[in-house]
Amino acid sequence: MNPSHEKTSSKQSIGTEMMKCVADLFPLHRSITGDGVRKTFQYLQHFAPVEIHEVPTGTQVFEWTVPQEWAVNDAYIAGESGHRIVDYLKSNLQVLSYSQPMKGRFTLDELRDHLFTLSRDLDASWIPYRTAYFRDAWGFCVSHRQMERLEKHTGEVFDVVIDSEFYDGNLTYGEIEFPGESDETILIYTHTCHPSLANDNLSGIAVATFLARQIEARVKQGETLKRTYKFVFAPATIGAITWLATNKDSLNNIYGGLVLSLLGDQGDFTYKKSRIGDSLIDRAACLTLKNGLSARYKVREFTPFGYDERQFCSPGINLPVGCLMRTPNAEFPEYHTSADNLDFISEKSLEDSLKIVSRITMALEHNETPINQSPYCEPQLGQRGLYRAFGERDDRGRLQEAIVWILNLADGKHDLLEIADRADLPFETIIEAVAVLRQHNLV
């Protein structure tokens, strides 16, 4: 599986490339372990330097244990004529993730406890996504239409096969690091354990990967990053716990971070704050959204539900890590169903999500607390050439405004995020103004 982007990237929009990445990864059968995840990371290596880490089955990570690997070769429910009514080979959602193996003949009544369906008010063709992690269970996820077909054959005996295996292996996670001038680290985390679902986890994977590609391009062009960037791609819950346990001693370096998920749908952005509530990432994300691509966005307080911000914001760890989504988990009908497919996400949403995440991380990277080198009233900006500095640019008024705000608040007590917020100016304008002030030795 090779992405065909390499020769055509200059012609395609980045949203088109991101969509192709999602489409290529969509068929792979990912779970919390296994080859689907490895193949996903190997594919991502075409875009960004993902380092693959393997943590052996049985490794103790805080209170948890890395599980055995799981693989499925085939799974189906067939009627007496041999025709498959439920067929894993047509959709990897049909088998309960981490299902125990099973082979036997069952009546529908005997099967019912092992069939998982969606609520009746959803589309009859949708298949749910369900898992059996850390418990012994076997079963199938079926649509109501499939259920009706099974019911038509009530009285018959069905052939049931789940050809799955469990074996000692590894939990696989991916990491990319771009060292900066400072060890202070900007963390981007996304989960990688969902099979054929587009918005829930592939959109986050694509945004993280393409952001890493952009940062790699900056480094290759000779730019020195101000802070270190770290990207982590890992299965939800057990992967985040494994990564945190493995990196326990360097967590103090985390300056701010984002869990990325659900970034391909058409909904407004939703930022869920870190448990700290007013940490650097909370301020950077809120500021960026305020000056963002759309006037409509939501900010929510932290709750111990949702994605892996649960682990990053747990006692003893309590990192400045928030979560960026569009429509939050479980708040759209397609969530965890086969309708979370390629049609549910759009190139534009992926591309706009990348823009916002890139701006939030740039704000974290460039944040600093400036000190005015010419205090005691305002310096003479005209005499220092600061009015001419912006030429005839359309936004020179805003840049001059930014200069006045920075000089006023640069007393060592206010960082650039706060200055941008109080000035009600985009962070990018503030960074540019700081650069000009620095050239003139004013900060």
Residues in contact with Zn ion by the rule CB under 5 A: 200
Closest by CA to 95, choosing from 78, 77, 120, is: 77
Closer residue to Zn ion in complex, CB, 264/379: 264
Taking the complex as a whole, how short is the minimal distance between the CB of residue 416 and Zn ion, in angstroms? 35
| CB 202 to Zn ion: min, Å | 11
- Outline where DSSP puts E strands in 168-211: 170-178, 182-191
Of 17 and 200, CB closest to Zn ion: 200
Q: How far is the CB of 420 from Zn ion (least distance, A)?
A: 34
Smallest gap from Cβ 194 to Zn ion, in A, equals 6
- Token pair for residue 207? 């945004």
188 closest CA partner among 276, 273, 281, 268: 281
CA distance 22 to 345: 10
In contact, 365 and 225? CB cutoff 8 Å:
yes
As measured in angstroms, the least distance from the Cβ of 54 to Zn ion is 23
CB of 23 to Zn ion, least distance (A): 19
Closest chain position to Zn ion (CB): 200
190 versus 279: smaller Cβ distance to Zn ion: 190
d(CA 38, CA 36) in angstroms, rounded, equals 6
Question: Would you say 191 or 398 has its CB closer to Zn ion?
Answer: 191
Give the 3-state secondary structure of residue 44: helix
Instruction: Tell me the C-alpha distance between 250 and 63, whole Å.
Output: 20
The dihedral sign for the CA sequence 221, 19, 262, 233: negative
CB of 339 to Zn ion, least distance (A): 14
Torsion of CA 322, 328, 330, 331, to 10 degrees: 150
Comparing CB distances to Zn ion, the nearer of 200 and 365 is 200
Q: How far apart are CA 143 and CA 196, in angstroms?
A: 15
> Per DSSP, what are the bridge partners of residue 174?
52, 233
Shortest Cβ 132–Zn ion spacing (Å): 15
Nearer to Zn ion, 204 or 370 (CB): 204
- Distances in whole angstroms, Cα of residue 187 to Cα of each of 52, 119, 162, 205, 217: 17, 37, 39, 14, 18
Please say which residue, 94 or 228, places its beta carbon nearer to Zn ion.
Answer: 94
CB of 130 to Zn ion, least distance (A): 11
Q: How far is the CB of 200 from Zn ion (least distance, A)?
A: 4
State the chain's maximal CA–CA distance in angstroms: 94
Cβ nearer to Zn ion, comparing 89 with 330: 330
Q: Name the residue nearer to Zn ion (CB basis): 185 or 337.
A: 337
* Long-range contacts of the stretch 424-427 (C-beta < 8 A, 24+): 425/291, 425/398, 425/401, 426/291, 427/284, 427/287, 427/288, 427/291, 427/359, 427/362, 427/363, 427/366
Per DSSP, the residues of 346-409 read: -HHHHHHHHHHHHHHHHHHHH----B-SS-SS---TTTTTTTGGGTT-TTHHHHHHHHHHHHHH
Of residues 200 and 282, the one with the C-beta less far from Zn ion: 200
